[in-house]
């Protein structure tokens, strides 16, 4: 039996079975499914599978986050399901059947820019470092002016920065041909023809008189020799024309001469059209877009534009629409030399990380969740938000909204302060390197807002229950959170004729509300209301008076039925089913009648802890539909058999 046999089997069943899977593959951390009917997937139960760290749907794919061990999980899943995996490209192709035209357009844009991100990120870092060397003054001089060595470094680094951003059209056209499955070297050649040194550099066009712009003179017509450095839309238009011409000529030209004539008839007309039609049109459209965005962020209502963009950027990430901002940012830098959009993107990254940081504090000690939340926070602060959003923030919702609000406020502030970036690609906290040096102070305040507001709002939302349906703080716990270790009793009155049930502590230890258990199945009260004891002793007693109706084979859970009809589960430890019963020694069997406080046996707490599991003894009423009222009387230190709670069943009409 493999390490993931049980989890993979559960996933196959909960995802709707083999018949519901149109295609499946995996990437570095996720299983990627294309499902025939996503409604058949039981998302709540899939999230409870121990190996699953989260899930989301994007670009028509149902993606299940496994983590670094995904390849091993995938192999086990393939063995159990009998489904042969396909390539990621084939999965994407199948996924498009579930997308509308807008989703397909966004997917295409994402697939064009994603392969370029490593270059854009390193280019952004380099330009940010050059900001420090060449623009920040120390005692009236910049580092470049004070040091020959650093002047040389600054000059050398421009070689890479220019290659990334000025020659971006080469990368764009290459990426289009790669994605569309046509000849990539033709894409590279086409890209070079857009930025060739023979052409007037795009950055010099505005300062060149019309009569001085060089041309190709064909006698009957002329074409201006203008380059498209850093231009996105002209490169995309030319790239797609090349792709579709090549596809057409491959169909109509005989294979025996295709190597000669397909490139000739595809490339030459595209280069001509790029400089005669597509380039000018693309330049104009790109300028319209960048001017509209720049006007929105510099107008009298810029504060509103900034607040809305900051607030809505995270939802754009969920839909994939955020990839469009890379094109807009690139166009803004091409047209204005800086962008006022990128600073807000970097702040949105920080805000999502700060919301997760608050969840870490709120769920302190939840080792299973910390495997997701801690790396996700670091990732956000370095500019990548998907693990945080899909693994934590969207799961609970209130941290996601808190981050959106914090990002909106930070976006409003930096927009009012006129903060602009010299480069893109570096997000999160390192994003300050991309900001104009004169704007560093204002951006630093924006970062402080993006850290503090989401953090404290997340705390507030959880404590007050605002936007919080599944991660509530128990009212008794709240009332006694500062009461120290002394047991605290809530006073209430019972009808003498009501067949109430007293529930006691199953061991010495600390009573906590069930909402604080580090297992969402219990903390979200999926199994029912109740409480837990964090034991300090391994001696176990019955939490209720009733008879035992079940004992799991792994001994980690015992079911009780009370005389008043209530059913209670004692679940010993979290994920201890994986231990096969070894830590548990029981002196009872199914059918035994017990009184509250009677001995059940013992549990080896050190063995559970050594296995990396938590020892919480969880008591849950599993038929809450029959419960009129549940009251947690006590929180804090207790001894085994001490009264903890009372449950009152509903009165049944005869």
**Active-site positions?**
27
| Those residues with Cβ within 8 angstroms of residue 414's Cβ, 6 or more apart along the chain or in another chain | 306, 343, 344, 347, 439, 442, 443, 446
Tell me the three state secondary structure of residue 518.
coil
Tokens for 368? Answer: 């299973």
C-alpha to C-alpha distance for 299 and 281, rounded to whole angstroms: 26
CB-based contact 566:621 (threshold 8 Å): yes
In what order do the strands lie in the sheet containing 584-586?
539-541, 599-603, 584-586
For residue 346, give the H/E element and its range: helix 342-362
| Those residues with Cβ within 8 angstroms of residue 435's Cβ, 6 or more apart along the chain or in another chain | 128, 131, 343, 419, 420, 421, 422, 443
Rounded to 5 degrees, φ, ψ at 7 are -65, -40
- Cα first-last separation, the chain: 52
Give the HSE-up count for residue 482: Cα atoms under 13 Å, Cβ half-sphere.
Answer: 1
C-alpha to C-alpha distance for 102 and 114, rounded to whole angstroms: 18
For residue 584, give the H/E element and its range: strand 584-586
In what order do the strands lie in the sheet containing 557-561?
488-489, 634-638, 509-513, 530-535, 614-621, 567-574, 557-561, 546-551, 593-594
CA distances from 396 to 38, 64, 276, 285, 518 (A): 21, 17, 53, 41, 14
C-alpha to C-alpha distance for 536 and 166, rounded to whole angstroms: 65
CB-based contact 434:390 (threshold 8 Å): no
C-alpha to C-alpha distance for 543 and 525, rounded to whole angstroms: 18
CA 139 to chain centre: 44
For β-strands 54-58 and 30-35, DSSP reports them as unpaired
Query: 594-624 in b/e burial notation, b at 16+ Cβ within 10 A?
Result: bebbbebbbbebebbeeeebbbbbbbbbbeb
C-alpha to C-alpha distance for 18 and 287, rounded to whole angstroms: 50
Question: Angle of helix 117-135 relative to helix 148-165, nearest 10 degrees?
Answer: 150
Kindly write down the DSSP assignment for every residue of 228-282, as one continuous string: -TT-SHHHHHHHHHHHHHHHHHHHHS-HHHHHHHHHHHHHHHHHHHIIIIIHHHH
CB-based contact 632:513 (threshold 8 Å): yes
């Amino acid at each position: 039996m493999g390490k993931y046999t049980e989890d993979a089997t559960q996933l196959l069943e909960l995802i709707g079975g083999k018949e519901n899977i149109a295609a499946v593959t995996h990437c570095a951390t996720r299983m990627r499914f294309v499902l025939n009917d996503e409604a058949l997937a039981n998302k709540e139960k899939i999230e409870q599978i121990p190996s699953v760290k989260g899930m989301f749907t994007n670009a028509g794919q149902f993606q299940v986050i496994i983590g670094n061990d995904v390849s091993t999980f995938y192999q086990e899943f393939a063995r159990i399901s009998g489904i042969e995996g396909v390539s990621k490209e084939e999965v994407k192709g199948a996924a498009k059947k579930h997308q509308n035209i807008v989703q397909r357009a966004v997917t295409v844009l994402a697939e064009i820019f994603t392969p370029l991100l490593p270059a854009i990120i390193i280019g952004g870092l380099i330009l940010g470092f050059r900001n420090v060397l060449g623009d920040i003054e120390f005692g009236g001089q910049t580092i470049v002016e004070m040091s020959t060595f650093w002047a040389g470094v600054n000059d050398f680094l421009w070689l890479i920065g220019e290659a990334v951003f000025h020659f971006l059209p080469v990368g764009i056209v290459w990426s289009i041909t790669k994605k569309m499955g046509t000849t990539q070297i033709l894409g590279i050649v086409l890209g070079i023809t857009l930025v060739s040194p023979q052409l007037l550099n795009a950055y010099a066009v505005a300062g060149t008189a019309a009569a001085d712009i060089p041309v190709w003179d064909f006698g009957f017509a002329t074409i201006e020799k203008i380059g498209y450095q850093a231009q996105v839309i002209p490169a995309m238009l030319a790239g797609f024309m090349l792709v579709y011409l090549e596809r057409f000529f491959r169909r109509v030209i005989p294979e025996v001469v295709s190597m000669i004539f397909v490139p000739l008839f595809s490339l030459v007309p595209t280069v001509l059209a790029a400089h005669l039609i597509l380039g000018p049109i693309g330049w104009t459209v790109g300028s319209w877009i960048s001017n509209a965005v720049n006007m929105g962020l510099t107008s009298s209502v810029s504060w509103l534009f900034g607040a809305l963009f900051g607030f809505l950027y995270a939802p754009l990430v969920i839909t994939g629409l955020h990839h469009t901002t890379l094109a807009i940012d690139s166009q803004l830098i091409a047209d204005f030399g800086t962008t006022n959009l990128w600073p807000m993107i970097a702040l949105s990254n920080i805000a999502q990380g700060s919301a997760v940081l608050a969840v870490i504090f709120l769920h302190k000690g939840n080792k299973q969740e910390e495997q997701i939340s801690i790396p996700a926070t670091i990732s956000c602060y370095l500019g990548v938000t998907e693990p945080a959003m899909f693994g934590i923030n969207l799961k609970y919702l209130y941290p996601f909204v808190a981050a959106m609000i914090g990002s909106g406020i930070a976006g409003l502030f930096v927009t009012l302060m006129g903060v602009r970036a010299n480069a893109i690609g570096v997000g999160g906290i390192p994003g300050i390197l991309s900001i104009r040096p004169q704007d560093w102070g204002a951006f630093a305040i924006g970062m402080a807002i993006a850290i503090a507001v989401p953090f404290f709002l997340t705390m507030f939302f959880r404590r007050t229950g605002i936007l919080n349906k599944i991660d509530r703080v128990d009212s008794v716990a709240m009332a006694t959170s500062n009461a120290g270790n002394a047991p605290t009793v809530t006073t209430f009155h019972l009808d003498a004729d009501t067949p109430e049930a007293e529930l006691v502590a199953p061991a010495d230890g600390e009573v906590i509300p069930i909402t604080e258990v580090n297992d969402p199945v219990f903390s979200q009260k999926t199994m029912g209301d109740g409480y837990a004891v964090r034991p300090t002793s391994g001696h176990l007693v019955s939490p209720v008076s009733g008879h035992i109706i079940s004992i799991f084979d792994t001994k980690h859970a015992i079911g009780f039925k009370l005389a008043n009809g209530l059913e209670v589960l004692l679940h010993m430890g979290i994920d201890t089913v994986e231990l096969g019963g070894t830590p548990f020694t029981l002196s009872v069997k199914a059918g035994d009648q017990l009184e509250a406080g009677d001995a059940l046996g013992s549990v080896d707490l050190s063995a559970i802890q050594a296995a990396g599991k938590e020892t919480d003894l969880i008591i849950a009423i599993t038929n809450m539909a029959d419960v009129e009222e549940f009251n947690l009387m006590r929180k804090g230190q207790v001894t085994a058999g001490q009264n903890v709670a009372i449950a009152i069943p509903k009165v049944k009409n005869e």
